[in-house]
Chains A and B, each alone.
Chain A
Amino acid sequence: GQNIDQPTEMTATEGAIVQINCTYQTSGFNGLFWYQQHAGEAPTFLSYNVLDGLEEKGRFSSFLSRSKGYSYLLLKELQMKDSASYLCAVMDSNYQLIWGAGTKLIIKP
């Protein structure tokens, strides 16, 4: 079967750095996506990785290792507004997105 694993919940301090991990086992791979979802709201796209390595976009960076089936989302200079769930999704060989259950990130002052 196909599955995406990510921690259920993480806590970090305002101003700090946090890394959210995602491991996946899918039938084929056509890219990995990270989405942010604030409570009660719809998910919004954050990043896309299809090749190994690090993609940086402002305070957020996403890393991919296809050989290890592993990705992480790195959030720097954490702000209170970063409190949200972060969803990892992989596009499989049929170009369908397989979603993880999300990691709820709690930011403390």
Chain B
Amino acid sequence: EADIYQTPRYLVIGTGKKITLECSQTMGHDKMYWYQQDPGMELHLIHYSYGVNSTEKGDLSSESTVSRIRTEHFPLTLESARPSHTSQYLCASSESGRETGELFFGEGSRLTVL
């Protein structure tokens, strides 16, 4: 059973606010990811990390930042939220090894920006 947790599960905020979505995993996985998913659409990679102090941008990384100070923790920050950021944000982790595509996902954070 996967042990990866996201908070908050649901968030409604106003335009211009700064928010941080939290993600923690207890599996000791080196690789962690943030995806954005809209209903009926594919997952878009926002950021990923291959280990502590390693962060990379995905294909949808503008206006957000991440940090990886500890193996288990990979928070995502939006400096100034906009209505276009309204979406479901999924955090995931996987074991090391370049060929590993088995991701373990958190339950998601559903963000609404008014």
Contact string, B74-114, partner A, CB cutoff 8 A, digits 1/0?
Answer: 00000000000000001000000011011111111000000
**Chain B contact residues, majority secondary structure:** loop
Specify which of A30, A35, A101 is in contact with B40 (CB 8 Å cutoff): A101
Count the A residues whose beta carbon is within 8 Å of the partner chain — how many?
24
Q: Within the complex, what minimum Cβ distance (angstroms) separates B89 from chain A?
A: 11
What is the minimal beta-carbon distance from B86 to any residue of chain A, in angstroms?
Answer: 16
A99 within 8 A of B: yes
Question: Are the CB atoms of A43 and B105 closer together than 8 Å?
Answer: yes
One digit per residue, 1 when the CB lies within 8 angstroms of any chain B CB and 0 when it does not, for chain A 22-64 equals 0000000011010100000111110010100000000000000
B42 CB contact (under 8 Å) in A30, A96, A102, A104: A102
Beta-carbon nearest neighbor of A46 in chain B: B102
- By a CB distance below 8 angstroms, the chain A residues around B105 are 42-44
Query: What does the 1/0 interface line of A1-24 toward B look like (CB < 8 Å)?
Result: 000100010000000000000000
B11 close to chain A: CB less than 8 A: no
A-B contact pairs, 17 of them (CB 8 A): A30-B98, A30-B99, A31-B99, A41-B107, A41-B108, A42-B105, A42-B108, A43-B103, A45-B102, A48-B101, A87-B43, A91-B99, A91-B101, A95-B99, A97-B103, A101-B40, A101-B41
Q: Which residues of B contact A (CB under 8 A)?
A: 40-45, 90, 98-99, 101-108
CB-based closest 10 A-B pairs: A42-B105, A99-B42, A99-B43, A95-B98, A101-B42, A45-B102, A33-B101, A91-B101, A43-B105, A42-B107
